[in-house]
Structure 1
Amino acid sequence: MDQTSLIQPVLNLLETGGPVVALIAALSVIAFALVLMKLGQFWREGVGRSGRARSAVQLWRQGHQREAIRLVGTPRSASEETVATAMRLSMNGTLDKSAIEEEITRRALARLHNHQWGLKALDAIGQVAPLLGLFGTVLGMIEAFQELQSAGNSVDPSMLAGGIWVALLTTAAGLAVAMPVSLLLTFFESRIDHERIAIETLGAGVLLAHVPDAAMLSPEHGFQAIDAAAPLNQQAVHAH
């Protein structure tokens, strides 16, 4: 099968659907490119996969600091970077807990913002594509009824039917683009949610591991420890 036989049906579809279908096709190409880029980025940076970071936090809380730091020595995901940063700054001992939380939050916000790049464009395409299809259908129906009016008494039902199916073609094209884009956007956002929650819980887990046992048993100090971790949680939530 040559390339001409593969391309010709697409060209016929674009010619039949008119400029609206051509615009929807252009949006589908942009969406496809964005999806490929995001899939590559999420796989490369391990977005939503926090198993190694959780293992490092468990080692850290058990007192195996060197093994924990070695496990996330070359962080790949944002959660691993958060854990590695919290461990390194805690071992350094030159910063208090609030300063460590600010540094963790700064890095987490930068990584989460990078993960969200391109998702707004996918969201826009998912919303605009069906509207464009509906717009094309309305224009096609107007044209079909104009031809019906011009025909006068000599109305050919096949002419009206042909105009209607061509008009509905744009709605089908818009929905065909919007549905997979919306599903993929939900997938990407869920992975970012998993990463955000891992950043919040694991970063706080490293910092709270250094609270003395007596303080952990005291309700007053326990609430203070939770409040100290609050800026990290709140700002990470706002980043989403």
Structure 2
Amino acid sequence: MWELMVKGGWIMWPILACSIAAAILFLERAFHLHRAQIKQGDFLSGIYTIVNRGNMVEAVSICDQTPGPVAHIVRTGLLHADEQHEELKETITKAGLSEIPRLEKNLGGLLTLAQITPLLGLLGTVIGLLRVFLIMEQSAPLAEIGDLSAGIWQALITTATGLCIAIPSFAGYNFLLSRVEAITLDMDHAAGELYRFLVYERNGDGEQGNESA
């Protein structure tokens, strides 16, 4: 491994730094998104049961103890449950929108690293080839393969290393993006269900309850 680093030249160090940074960003986001995704159906059912018992404070407390954007949206809705319907809907929507940047945090950085790394490898290739042609020019017509091998090694190693880092980085980015999209769908569903519950079903109140009275 060290031998390859040496043969690849100084450009291998920024490539290595990109690989470490990409790994850190991926692991941090994977852990965060794993905690953020909960079984929202079971969570909402439990909250509805507690609210219908008149224990709004307990329901809010459970939301505080539950990680993830769904719990935050539900908590916001419960705290504004007595607002007018349109105001409540707007409040829940804003709560959901505020969670999206938190979910997408550092994804742009991971994508940037995935894009930069192969370019660094390409730069190493260009530098290696320039090195080869410079030696050929200086040593012609007596240039030997041994004199050229260092530049050839650098050209090949940097490109290969850049691709080996960029490919899993792109894969990791798309995996995390799919997790964000799944959580966003959960948020949309939870927001709609919460609004319907607070407006139409809570303790038999709401427009439907008033119309049937």
Q: TM-score, length-normalised on structure 2?
A: 0.79
Contact 1:31 1:125 in 2 (8 A): yes
Tell me, yes or no, if structure 1 residue 118 matches structure 2 residue 99: no
CA RMSD of aligned residues (A): 2.9
1:207 aligns with 195
Q: Distance in 2 between matches of 1:183 and 1:168?
A: 23
Tell which deviates more after alignment, 196-205 or 58-67: 58-67
Instruction: Tell me the CA shift for residue 147 of structure 1.
Output: 0.9
Match status 1:144 vs 2:132 = yes
1:24 to 15, 19, 27: 15
Residue 15 (str. 1) matches residue 6 (str. 2): yes
CA distance in 1, matches of 2:127, 2:179: 40
Tell me which residue corresponds to 2:90: 102
Q: Is the 8 A contact 2:107 2:173 kept in 1?
A: yes
**CA-to-aligned-CA distance 1:100-126 (integer Å, 9 cap, x gap):** 233223332332212222111111100
Look up the match of 1:170: 158
Correspondent of 2:173 among 185, 189, 205: 185
Q: Which amino acid aligns with 2:158?
A: T
State the shift of 1:58 in Å.
Answer: 4.5
How many angstroms does 1:155 deviate by? 3.1
Change (3 A) 1:28 1:119: same
Mark the CA change 1:24 to 1:215 in structure 2 (over 3 Å): closer, same or farther.
farther
Per the TM alignment, residue 15 of structure 1 is displaced from its structure 2 partner at its CA by 2.6
Q: Is the Cα–Cα contact under 8 Å of residues 59 and 65 in structure 1 kept in the other structure?
A: no
Task: Verify the 8 A CA contact 1:72 1:81 in the aligned structure 2.
Answer: no
Q: In structure 2, which of residues 135, 138, 148 is the aligned counterpart of residue 160 of structure 1? A: 148
Partners of 1:117 and 1:63 in 2: CA distance: 33
| Ranges in structure 2 where 5+ consecutive residues have no aligned partner | 201-206
Inter-CA distance 196–215: structure 2 relative to 1 (3 Å threshold): farther
Deviates more, 1:29-38 or 1:200-209: 29-38
TM-score, length of structure 1 as denominator length = 0.71
Per-residue CA distance 1:70-111 (angstroms, 9 max, x = gap): 895433110122133324433xx2x11222233223332332
Within 2, Cα distance between the matches of 1:88 and 1:111?
17
Q: Deviation at 1:62?
A: 8.5
* Percentage of identical aligned residues: 22
Separation in structure 2 between the aligned mates of residue 199 and residue 62 of structure 1, nearest angstrom:
20
Q: Unpaired runs of 5+ in structure 1?
A: 1-8, 217-240
- The aligned residue for residue 41 of structure 2 is 54
Residues 106 and 81 from structure 1, CA distance in 2 versus in 1: closer, same or farther, beyond 3 angstroms?
same
